[in-house]
A and B are shown apart, each in its own frame.
Chain A
Amino acid sequence: MYGRKVKLRFLFVVIILITLILTTFLILRSLEENVVFFQSPSEIKSLSEIDKSKIRVGGMVKKNSISISSNEVNFIITDFKNEINVTYSGAVPNLFAEGKGVVAEGFLKDRNFFSATKILAKHDENYMPPEVKEALGEK
Chain B
Amino acid sequence: MFKLFEPNKIFKITSKAPKYVLFLFVVVLTVGLVEALVISPEDYKQSDAVRIMYVHVPAAWISLGIFSSITLLSICGFVFKNKNFFLISKSLAPSGFVFNIIALVTGSIWGKPTWGTWWAWDARITSMLILALFYAMYLIVWRIYDKEEKVYKISTFITILGIINVPIIKYSVDWWNTLHQPASINILSKSSIHSSMLYPLLIMTAAFALFSLLIFLMKYNTELIKIKNKGLDRL
Q: With A and B bound together, what is the CA distance between A28 and B176 in angstroms?
A: 11
Query: Among the listed B53, B114, B122, which residue makes an inter-chain contact with A94, where contact means beta carbons less than 8 Å apart?
Result: B114
Closest CB in chain B relative to A78 CB, distance in Å: 15
Q: With A and B bound together, what is the CA distance between A126 and B121 in angstroms?
A: 23
Nearest B residue to A23 via CB reads: B164
Q: With A and B bound together, what is the CA distance between A16 and B160 in angstroms?
A: 8
Closest CB in chain A relative to B36 CB, distance in Å: 13
User: Which residues does chain A contribute within 8 Å of B160, judged by CB atoms?
Assistant: 13, 16-17, 20
Judged by a CB distance under 8 angstroms, whether B145 is at the interface is: no
Query: Among the listed B177, B182, B194, which residue makes an inter-chain contact with A127, where contact means beta carbons less than 8 Å apart?
Result: B194
A-B contacts at CB below 8 angstroms, number? 119
Query: Among the listed B41, B113, B117, B182, which residue makes an inter-chain contact with A130, where contact means beta carbons less than 8 Å apart?
Result: B41
Query: Among the listed B79, B168, B179, B194, which residue makes an inter-chain contact with A38, where contact means beta carbons less than 8 Å apart?
Result: B179
* Contact yes or no, B123 A37, CB < 8 A: yes
Judged by a CB distance under 8 angstroms, whether A121 is at the interface is: yes
The segment out of B6-14, B44-52, B88-96, B98-106 that lies at the interface is B44-52
Q: A95-B114, A129-B43, A133-B44 are in contact. Are A9 and B179 (CB under 8 A)?
A: no
> What is the 8 Å Cβ interface bit string for chain A, positions 13-52, against chain B (1 contact, 0 not)?
1001100110010001000100111111000000000000
Does more than half of chain B's interface fall in helix, strand or loop, or is it mixed?
loop
User: Which residues does chain A contribute within 8 Å of B20, judged by CB atoms?
Assistant: none
* Contact yes or no, A123 B176, CB < 8 A: no
Size of the chain B interface, CB-CB below 8 angstroms: 41
Q: With A and B bound together, what is the CA distance between A9 and B41 in angstroms?
A: 53
Closest CB in chain B relative to A27 CB, distance in Å: 10
Nearest A residue to B178 via CB reads: A37
Q: With A and B bound together, what is the CA distance between A133 and B168 in angstroms?
A: 32
Judged by a CB distance under 8 angstroms, whether B23 is at the interface is: no
List 27 A–B pairs whose Cβ atoms lie within 8 Å, in order of A's numbering: A6-B79, A6-B81, A13-B160, A17-B160, A20-B160, A20-B161, A24-B164, A35-B123, A37-B178, A40-B177, A58-B177, A94-B113, A95-B114, A100-B45, A103-B179, A118-B116, A120-B115, A120-B116, A121-B115, A123-B181, A125-B181, A125-B193, A126-B192, A127-B192, A129-B42, A133-B44, A133-B45
Known: A13-B160, A39-B177. 4 other contacts (CB 8 A): A20-B164, A127-B53, A127-B184, A133-B44
